Amino acid sequence: MGKMYEVSNKYNNYKEYQREFTEVGRSIPRLDGPAKVTGKVQYTDDLVLPRMAYGKILRSPHAHANIKSIDYSEALKLDGVLAVITGEDCPIPYGIVPHNANEHALAVGKVRNWGEGVAAVAALDEATAEKALELIKVEYEVLEAIVDPREAVKRDDLRIHENHPNNIAYEGTQVYGDPEKALAESDFIIEKEFYSSYVNHGFIETQSAISDFDPNTGKLHMYATCQVPHYTHQQLAKVLEMPMNKIRITVPLIGGGFGGKGVASQADFCSALLSRKIGKPVKITYERSEVFATNNGRHPCYMKFKMGFDKDGKITAVDFNNLMDGGAYSGWGIVVLFYTASMVHIPYMVPNVKFDGKRVFTNKPTCGAHRGLGGVQPRFAMEQMLDEAAEHFGMSPYAIRKLNAVESGYTAKSMMYVPHSEYKKCLDEAVEKSGFLEKQGKLPYGKGIGISGGYYISGTSYTLYLSYKPHTVATIKIDEENGVTLFCGATDIGQGVDTVMAQMAAETLGVKTEDVKIIPRDTEISTFDLGTFASRLTFATGWAIRQAAEKINAELFPVAASILKCRGDEIAVKDGYFYSIYEREGKKGRNREVLWTDVVTMYIESNGPLTCSGQFTPPRRKGIQQGGNIGHSPTFGFSAQVAEVDIDLETGKVNVVKITEAGDCGQPINPMSVEGQVHGSIQMGLGQALYEEMQIAPDGRFLNPSLHDYKMPTIRDMPKIDANIVEAYDPSAPYGGKESGEGPIQPTAPAIFNAVYDAIGVRFTEMPLTPEKVLNAIKAQKAK
Amino acid sequence: MGKMYEVSNKYNNYKEYQREFTEVGRSIPRLDGPAKVTGKVQYTDDLVLPRMAYGKILRSPHAHANIKSIDYSEALKLDGVLAVITGEDCPIPYGIVPHNANEHALAVGKVRNWGEGVAAVAALDEATAEKALELIKVEYEVLEAIVDPREAVKRDDLRIHENHPNNIAYEGTQVYGDPEKALAESDFIIEKEFYSSYVNHGFIETQSAISDFDPNTGKLHMYATCQVPHYTHQQLAKVLEMPMNKIRITVPLIGGGFGGKGVASQADFCSALLSRKIGKPVKITYERSEVFATNNGRHPCYMKFKMGFDKDGKITAVDFNNLMDGGAYSGWGIVVLFYTASMVHIPYMVPNVKFDGKRVFTNKPTCGAHRGLGGVQPRFAMEQMLDEAAEHFGMSPYAIRKLNAVESGYTAKSMMYVPHSEYKKCLDEAVEKSGFLEKQGKLPYGKGIGISGGYYISGTSYTLYLSYKPHTVATIKIDEENGVTLFCGATDIGQGVDTVMAQMAAETLGVKTEDVKIIPRDTEISTFDLGTFASRLTFATGWAIRQAAEKINAELFPVAASILKCRGDEIAVKDGYFYSIYEREGKKGRNREVLWTDVVTMYIESNGPLTCSGQFTPPRRKGIQQGGNIGHSPTFGFSAQVAEVDIDLETGKVNVVKITEAGDCGQPINPMSVEGQVHGSIQMGLGQALYEEMQIAPDGRFLNPSLHDYKMPTIRDMPKIDANIVEAYDPSAPYGGKESGEGPIQPTAPAIFNAVYDAIGVRFTEMPLTPEKVLNAIKAQKAK
């Protein structure tokens, strides 16, 4: 039977028929869309379990302080209060990167940022829990707070973590080629400093967790807003000292993650600890201020660059010194630090690279994973320096990018391998669609146009702990009653992966997308998946789904062939039919057909159940593990953007009028969904470029922990967006498709900054570009 | 690898080590027990979906009437009423046996029993729905009602269903051997009539359904109290004219079924129709009176028997004429009718059998599937006739039973094959434990002791529709995080199958029962299973689970062998360890060991996911399909009971003092659970024998549709029970185990009736044996 399928499979061969997709490539509205917009679905906070209690977390008003004592006796006396926990109840540290674990569910001995949790209460209702918080007396010994990482590295006398001299969380150096020599021999060198700001994701749904510990079975069932249920599962097991198989995590729909829900939250741990203490379910839902207090947003970076070019404008070397503000704890920090290093190597050929990086602790809410992590900061710098070099060489910013752009098959000095790139097409299309060449340098003062490129990983090679197991598993169950049911632990955080997975399964199986049922993620019911990060899902789950679906086909094809009374190599499946095909004089035609459901019935009647699993393990290349190449990914997505700005010369406000985007996501699985990702990326990039900044006072107090005071762009601030998908097909990807959710955030800020330069002739190096800064620059120009 | 396992499997071979179970045979308290008794779990009626509406069904006050018109315009005007449906909304008939489908979600044109649904309302709350029912005006043309099947067969002029002359739903004749000749040649013949009464299951949880139709996707998700989700799934698809793959049924915990939830309920259909109409979830939960109105309980039977014996007391022939009161609709009727025929053939050898059966429609709530269906009625008769014959021959009732009892390997005239029987052991043990031989015939007037036997099928060979597919599928998923997850659609209706399934999986996998997670039944997530009926689960799912687990072992054993550095035939798995064993001078010993979890990790690291499915298809024997052998089952369970009674001679009340039971359930998977089933069976048998009867007035009105008026035995009415499990192992069963939940109800009533005869010397032939009947008999004795 296997052999028969090998032959028949020729007609489902993606190399031969790669463009002949039926379900892949369809702009299908999200399968869960109508239920979401009609309010039918339930997010975590919508759930109410029987006998459920409500938890609240008491948070520190100080950014740096020793906890001398906590007295919660009065709180416990309050009617309706069921339990109080403190750091004493959770002495075991956790962290998504296991060997850097230094976080606690509640502060142990010391608080290191404003808003750190110090105690938690469970009560019969939220109001009582809140009242109880006021009755908890915490005696603090307030310490000096350090909020600037440039200061922190100098203050070995004031260590935020005792075991980290000079407050350095991690540091590292990477050298590829001979950057020193290359710079010395360069025709033109730019040496410049940049700063990227302290921003939060701003997802709409705050973190929420309901823990339901059953004292009879010793099992914990948690419902949580969780991008990475697998890692949360691991860390809960560690902190609670319970075996993983006694913990189950169900992830309801998630209202946005962007990396911010890529760590276990204190709501997760505290609800679990409280539930175990009282033997009842406990729900904890964050206030917005708690989202800011626990942050996990983008790392501010103080970046020093030297970038060299030869006489033709080709990049010779990059020397990048990155001082990264980590905030109070480790989180994803080490990953982000080394991603910033990796991000230098692509999308332009850089033959010589030096990287010096430090991630430094400060008394601020911890920084972590944030859409396009590690990429946004160096891209902001490098894309502006490219423009500066283009000006020096008298080239257009477009030309210098084309000259240096990587192509399919490129291997970076860091051994990062690019199986496929249509980045040049992206540049071409963005330039053509925007009329960049006609406008750049030719617009009146105050109006400008700027270009930038970007790229991002599409998957990761790493599990964050030692393991060689598959990164994802998909199981497809076929039965007469339900048709196709797909089990996969991939977490839809609003990006639409459920729809995309259904499309991919439907494509290979030859059924309609709408007929594929996705079983929601749940660590017990679903199959294994690492989680939603590193833009890995379409690529990784795609392979697992395709493998599972091909195994199903291998079972069904012989049955179909026997019904259609033809040879195995004369058969194909599409649109809910198996059909026999003939080939005559080089032309193929469709012959007899049989319903897919009839073949399934026939198969099951004679063979019984039909369930197959597929898996994905990232490809490993010799030598690729060395040298700290944490940024390595199976493939990469690319994006080019042209921003047009119109600066209000009276106020300094930068109005972004239009952004023209052209992306290489390979074969788009769902073009409508790709466009949605592009719009979202641009919104987020725009926010960081112009508006957003978490403001921390010198003593570490958080000044704007609300969406009233933390300014995100709304629909009224959005430019016109022209999103384009360039023709592309990545042969290393399961259906030719790769990421589109993180690459497109990279170019937005530098494109805007380059447009501002085009408008008023001033280069800015710090985000966000507030009206004040622009106005001051304009005034300074006039003063000259 | 397969080969390696074949060798190693020798050490898990059930023939060699069949008694060496670790998990099977443990009296493990129900895994779901603590959560149930602490109120942690949620039954269907406990669930509340967002925006949920409430439905109520308007029921007919007449037993037989044409519906002239329904005017619900006033109801629709009531504030909060969302929709009303009538029979016009559900013209398609349904029925669990497809070719007999004649039921409707709501009456179409005519009502045929008191309480039949005629309209249903959805409203914002229950009170409004109830008020709306009062505003619906139904104009009836009341017809004469027939409530006695003996009358109904004579009234071709008054057909309850137009296409059923003489109100005969089905009739059939079976002849095996030459019963006429055998009776003519018999040494002793008993000719007698019996009546078994009209009883309901009396489960505590009334039927409930929540239907959630999503108008955007066209999908219906129903939560329902459903023993047979697969059949409900089929019938919903039919009535709603929707494809099955657009319907999903989730079955929460069920508070008792006993066959009563073995059909789709009107709550299921009406909630679905209403939900589809209003696009919101609708919950309908029955009142107790609605449970009675929709019944599905045991068929009253008017039974005429001729039973012949040879001079030694051996049974020569049985001629059984069964007139069965079916109530208003078909339901499980045809199955029950032919089960009563099959039940004559075992547990005693009957070389010649004649069966004439009719199931007749009457204007009463439909009869259907009820614990021990088809067996309780003829057993009630035959076990009393056996006693009468014993008396005639001067034998003890024990001796005549032993003489006629079937043994392992017996094939009945009807081709029913008994792979294994320890029925004789049951008789021995019940007699010995109760001191029957010392007491019988020797107790003072008013005190008596009686014996009876019984048996029941343990599975079915039939799907009720044409199909050769497996009857059940089990899928086991093994992963590092969760250990063992078992997917199986088998429905735990309170009988404890979840725990038993976990034990069986644990046994073969070599882990602890508590570590096996059972995924609750859901037509989408679970694997296929026919449903909970015919005592099929332990046997059928047992085979599927064992097959799945052995496939898992076939994958894991080679990995374990490579770690333990031994040959494949030197390895075994138990208690969470793989271990190597040595055999020296005929003795086996345990050598090195490795944690099961470590082997799993090693396997997954190198091979990826581990998910295997097993299935069960009943064995088919040549010729077995002919002759209407609907009672055929892969194997059978046996039970013998001795009842001791103490009759209150002043009131006639029969006090059952003690019941001694001995059962052959093969290898008990969970002895504690077996004992629970025996207690429950005896409670139910006792209720039918002495107390329970649904009372119908001559015009078809239901006189006692409440648990105040319908008298079930409570804990205070229960006798002392001595339940024993005889040593047995059924080699045809996956772990040697077979049914224990329906066989033990068979002997209870006849054992009590035989004890009453022993006490006062009067044979009664009608259930229930009320004090009035007994007192009248005592008075008649005195009058003589």
Indicate the DSSP class of residue A41. Answer: S
Q: What residues of B are in contact with residue A608 (Cβ under 8 Å)?
A: 469-470, 473, 613, 615, 617
Please indicate if any CB of chain B lies within 8 Å of the CB of A463.
no
Distance of CA B364 to the CA centre of its chain: 22
User: What amino acid is encoded at B599 in this protein?
Assistant: V
Q: Identify whether B332 is part of a domain.
A: no
3-state secondary structure of A192: strand
C-alpha pair distances (Å), B180 with each of A325, B172, B191, B306, B311: 99, 18, 13, 10, 17
Residues of A with Cβ-Cβ distance to B34 under 8 angstroms: 214, 216-217
- For residue B105, tell me if it sits in a domain: yes
- Which residues lie below 8 Å from residue B325, measured CB to CB, with a gap of 6+? B148, B149, B198, B299, B300, B301, B302, B360, B362, B364, B367
HSE toward the beta carbon, residue B451, CA cutoff 13 A: 31
The pLDDT value given to residue A15: 37
Q: Which of residues 373-402 of A touch B (CB under 8 A)?
A: none
Q: Does residue B267 lie within any of the structural domains?
A: yes
Following DSSP, what letter does each residue of A377-409 receive, concatenated?
A: HHHHHHHHHHHHHHHHHT--HHHHHHHHB--TT
- Give residue-wise pLDDT tens across range A687-721: 999 999 999 999 999 999 999 999 999 999 999 99
**Where residue A606 sits, what CATH number does that domain have?**
3.30.365.10
Residues of chain A with Cβ-Cβ distance to B282 below 8 Å are none
Chain segment B296-335, per-residue pLDDT in tens: 999 999 999 999 999 999 999 999 999 999 999 999 999 9
Q: Chain B residue closest to A483 (CA)? A: B245
Question: Do A217 and B514 count as a contact with CB atoms less than 8 A apart?
Answer: yes
Assess contact for B246 and B220: CB atoms under 8 A. Answer: yes
> Which helix (H) or strand (E) covers residue B403, if one does?
helix B397-404
Chain B contact set for A480 (CB, 8 A): 244, 469, 528
> Which residues in chain A have Cβ-Cβ distances shorter than 8 Å to B217?
31, 34-35, 514
DSSP β-bridge partners for residue A83: A122
Helix (H) or strand (E) holding B126: helix B126-134
Nearest-Cα residue of chain B relative to residue A230: B481
B703 in reach of chain A (CB within 8 A): no
Burial of B98 (0-12, 13-18, 19+ CB in 10 A): middle
DSSP string for B233-262: HHHHHHHHT--GGGEEEE--B-S--TTTTS
Mind giving me the DSSP string for B605-616?
HHH--EEEEEEE
Q: For the purposes of burial, counting CB atoms within 10 Å of the CB of A121, is it exposed (0-12), middle (13-18) or buried (19 or more)?
A: buried
pLDDT, mean over chain B = 93
pLDDT value at residue B585 = 81
Interface of B with A in 190-229 (CB under 8 A): 214, 216-217
> Rounded mean pLDDT of A353-377?
97
Residues A679 and A731 in one domain: yes
Distance from CA of B264 to the nearest CA of A (A): 17
A452 and A396, same domain (yes or no): yes
Q: What DSSP letter does each residue of A74-140 carry, written as one string?
A: HHHHSTTEEEEEEGGG--S-B-SSGGG--B-SS-SSEE-STT-EEEEEEESSHHHHHHHHHT-EEEE
Give the distance from residue A24's alpha carbon to the nearest chain B alpha carbon, in angstroms.
20
- Pair type for strands B282-285 and B53-59: parallel
Domain final residue pick, B285, B307, B336? B285
Does one domain contain both B19 and B54? no
Q: Which pLDDT belongs to residue A98?
A: 87
**pLDDT tens readout for residues B191-240:** 999 999 999 999 999 999 999 999 989 999 999 999 999 999 999 999 99
Residue A577: name the closest of A555, A600, A554 by CA.
A600
Whether A11 has a pLDDT exceeding 50, the answer reads no
Domain edge (last residue) among A557, A585, A616: A616
- A480 in contact with chain B, both atoms CB, cutoff 8 A: yes
Instruction: Note the pLDDT of residue A622.
Output: 54
The SS3 assignment for A196 reads strand
**HSE of B569 in the Cβ direction (CA atoms, 13 Å)?**
5
Tell me chain B's radius of gyration from C-alpha atoms: 27
Q: Is the pLDDT of residue B12 over 70?
A: no
pLDDT, average across residues A12-32 = 71
Q: Which residue of A has its CA nearest to B473?
A: A609
Co-location of B573 and B648 in the same domain: no
Start-to-end CA span in chain B (Å): 82
E-strand ranges in A720-763 read 720-725
- A490 shares a domain with A409: no
CB spacing of B469 vs A604 below 8 angstroms: yes
B551 vs A: CB within 8 A? no
Rounded to a whole number, what is the distance in Å from the CA of A560 to chain B's nearest CA?
17
- Residue A565, pLDDT > 60, answer yes
The confidence band for B630, taking pLDDT boundaries of 50, 70 and 90, is: very low
Please, what is the average pLDDT of chain A?
93
Q: In what order do the strands lie in the sheet with B282-285?
A: B81-86, B117-123, B53-59, B282-285, B208-214, B219-224, B247-250
DSSP B319-362: EEEEEEEEESS-TTHHHHHHHHHHTTSSSB--S-EEEEEEEEE-
Q: Rounded to a whole number, what is the distance in Å from the CA of B529 to chain A's nearest CA?
A: 11
* pLDDT tens readout for residues B411-438: 999 888 999 999 999 999 999 999 999 9
Mean pLDDT lowest among A303-307, B177-181, B618-622: B618-622
Place of tokens 């052998």: B629
Residue at which a domain ends, from B222, B253, B285? B285
What residues of A are in contact with residue B527 (Cβ under 8 Å)? 477, 479, 609, 611
Q: What interhelical angle do A537-564 and A497-509 show, nearest 10?
A: 30
- Which pTM does this prediction carry? 0.93
- List the single residue in B38, B214, B523 with the smallest CB-CB distance to A40: B214
Q: Is residue A345 part of a domain?
A: yes
Instruction: Provide the shortest C-alpha distance from residue A469 to chain B (in Å).
Output: 4
Please check the confidence at residue A66 and state whether its pLDDT lies above 60: yes
B513, B545: one domain: yes
Q: How many CB pairs under 8 A join A and B?
A: 138
pLDDT value at residue B464: 86
Chain A neighbors of B38, CB-CB under 8 A: 216
Which amino acid is residue B633, in one-letter code?
S
% of residues, chain A, pLDDT over 90: 87
CB contact at 8 A, B577 and B512: no
All residues of chain B having their beta carbon less than 8 Å from the beta carbon of residue A245 are 481-483, 515, 517
CA distance A465 to A284: 29
Is the pLDDT confidence value at A178 over 70? yes
Q: CB of B30 within 8 Å of any CB in chain A?
A: no
Tens of pLDDT, residue by residue over B331-357, are 999 999 999 999 999 999 999 999 999
The SS3 assignment for B166 reads helix
**Quick check: B477 and A605 CB within 8 A?**
no
Q: B residues 226-245 near A, CB within 8 Å?
A: 230, 233-234, 244-245
* Partners of residue B604 in chain A, C-beta under 8 Å: 469-470
Please check whether residue A437 is in contact with residue A398, taking contact to mean a CB–CB distance below 8 angstroms. Answer: yes
A513 and chain B in contact, CB less than 8 A: no
Domain assignment of residue B408, yes or no: yes
**Residues of chain B above pLDDT 90, percent:** 87
Asked whether residue B408 falls in the same domain as residue B473, the answer is no
The answer to whether the beta carbons of residues B185 and B168 sit under 8 Å apart is no
Q: What are the distances in angstroms from CA B577 to CA B16, B483, B549, B592, B600?
A: 20, 13, 15, 10, 11
Q: Tell the residue number behind the tokens 């046997």, with chain if given.
A: B539
Per-residue pLDDT of A121-135, as tens digits, reads 999 999 999 999 999
Residues on chain B touching A473 (C-beta within 8 angstroms): 608-609
pLDDT of residue B616: 93
Distance from CA of B262 to the nearest CA of A (A): 19
Closest Cα in chain A, distance from residue B370 (Å)? 27
- Whether A466 and chain B come into contact, CB under 8 Å, resolves to no
What confidence score (pLDDT) does residue A571 get?
87
Q: Name the pLDDT band for A590 (thresholds 50, 70, 90).
A: confident
Residues B433 and B539 in one domain: no
DSSP state, A422?
-
Best CA proximity match to B360, nearest among B390, B381, B329: B329
**Is B613 touching A (CB cutoff 8 A)?**
yes
CATH for A276: 3.90.1170.50
Q: What is the ipTM of this complex?
A: 0.91
B611 and B724 belong to one structural domain: no
Same domain for A550 and A474, yes or no, is yes
Helix axes B748-760, B376-393, angle to 10 degrees: 40
Query: Closest partner residue to B34 among A46, A217, A483, by Cβ?
Result: A217
Residues A36 and A54 in one domain: no
Comparing A418-427, A623-632, B545-554, the range with the smallest average pLDDT is A623-632
Q: Would you put residue B370 in left (φ > 0), alpha (ψ -120 to 50) or beta?
A: beta
Residue A177 forms part of a structural domain: no
Q: Is residue B158 part of a domain?
A: no
Q: How many CA atoms lie within 13 A of A100 on its CB side?
A: 19
Contact B214 A515 (CB under 8 A): no
The total number of structural domains that make up chain A: 3
Task: Identify the residue among B49, B282, B469 best suited for mutation to test binding to A, counting A beta carbons within 10 A and taking the highest.
Answer: B469
pLDDT value at B1 more than 50: no
Q: Does A35 contact chain B (CB < 8 Å)?
A: yes
User: Is the CB of A620 inside 8 Å of chain B's CB atoms?
Assistant: no
Q: What is the pLDDT of residue B482?
A: 87
Q: How far apart are CA A639 and CA A650, in angstroms?
A: 33
> Does A696 map to a domain?
yes
Band (B465; pLDDT cuts 50, 70, 90):
confident
Average pLDDT over residues A377-388: 98
Whole-angstrom CA distances from A604 to A187, A485, A563 are: 71, 15, 14
- Which two structure tokens, joined as six digits, stand for B170? 């089905």
Distance CA A315, CA A176 (A): 14
What residues of chain A lie within 8 A of the CB of B515, using their CB?
245
- Chain A hits for B602, CB-CB cut-off 8 Å, are none
State yes or no: cis peptide before A768, omega within 30 of 0: yes
Which of B213, B233, B481, B545 best probes binding to A when mutated, by most A CB atoms within 10 angstroms?
A: B481
Task: Give B11-30 as a DSSP string.
Answer: GG-HHHHTT--SSTT-----
> Please, are residues A511 and A520 in contact by the beta-carbon 8 Å criterion?
no
Residue span of the structural domain in which B457 resides: 379-462+629-783
In angstroms, rounded to a whole number, what is the distance separating the alpha carbons of residues A538 and A559? 31
One DSSP character per residue, B621-666 reads -TTTTSTT-TT--S-EEEEEEEEEEEE-TTT--EEEEEEEEEEE-B
In terms of DSSP H, where are the helices of A565-637?
A: 596-607
The DSSP output letter for A9 is G
Q: Is A139 on the interface with B (CB under 8 A)?
A: no
Q: Do A524 and B485 touch (CB under 8 A)?
A: yes
Selected for mutation to probe chain A from B32, B220, B476, B477 (highest A CB count within 10 Å) is: B477
Question: Taking 90 as the threshold, does the pLDDT of residue A10 lie above it?
Answer: no
Q: Cα(A722)–Cα(B413) distance, rounded to whole angstroms?
A: 81
The answer to whether A704 contacts chain B (CB < 8 Å) is no
**Tokens for B372?**
């021990």
| DSSP-derived secondary structure for A310-372 | -TTS-EEEEEEEEEEEEESS-TTHHHHHHHHHHTTSSSB--S-EEEEEEEEE-SSSPB---SS
Per-residue pLDDT band at A9 (split at 50, 70, 90): very low
Q: Minimal Cα distance from B233: which residue of A?
A: A481
Angle, to 10 degrees, between the axis of helix A748-760 and the axis of helix A376-393? 40
Encoding tokens for residue B650? Answer: 């002043």
% of chain A surpassing 70 pLDDT:
96
User: Do A18 and A59 fall within a single domain?
Assistant: no
Look at residue A730 in the predicted model and tell me its pLDDT: 93
Tell whether the torsion through CA atoms of B461, B467, B469 and B473 is positive or negative.
negative
Q: How far apart are CA A751 and CA A747, in angstroms?
A: 6
Cis peptide before B768 (omega within 30 of 0): yes
